[in-house]
Amino acid sequence: MTINQLLQMPIGVESRSGGFQLTVKVARKTVEVDKKYLQWVIFMDSTGEIPGEVSLPKYIPLKKYQRIHITVCWLQQGEKGKKLYVDQWYPITITEEELCTQRANFNDEFQYGEPLHIVKSKIRMHVVCAILSTGNFEDLDKDFINKWVDFIVTGK
Set out the domains of the chain in order of their start, with CATH numbers: 3-91 (2.40.50.140), 106-154 (no CATH)
Report pLDDT for 108.
Answer: 44
Maximal C-alpha separation, the chain:
65
* Residue 51 contacts residue 35 (beta carbons within 8 Å): no
User: Average pLDDT for consecutive 10-residue bins of the chain (156 residues)?
Assistant: 88 82 91 90 92 90 89 90 91 70 53 69 88 80 88 84
Inter-helix orientation angle 116-134/142-154, to 10°: 120
Provide the CA 30 distance to its chain's centre, in angstroms.
Answer: 16
Report pLDDT for 36.
Answer: 87
The answer to whether the pTM exceeds 0.75 is no
Report pLDDT for 103.
Answer: 57
Report pLDDT for 60.
Answer: 85
Q: Is 101 helix (H, G, I), strand (E, B) or coil?
A: helix
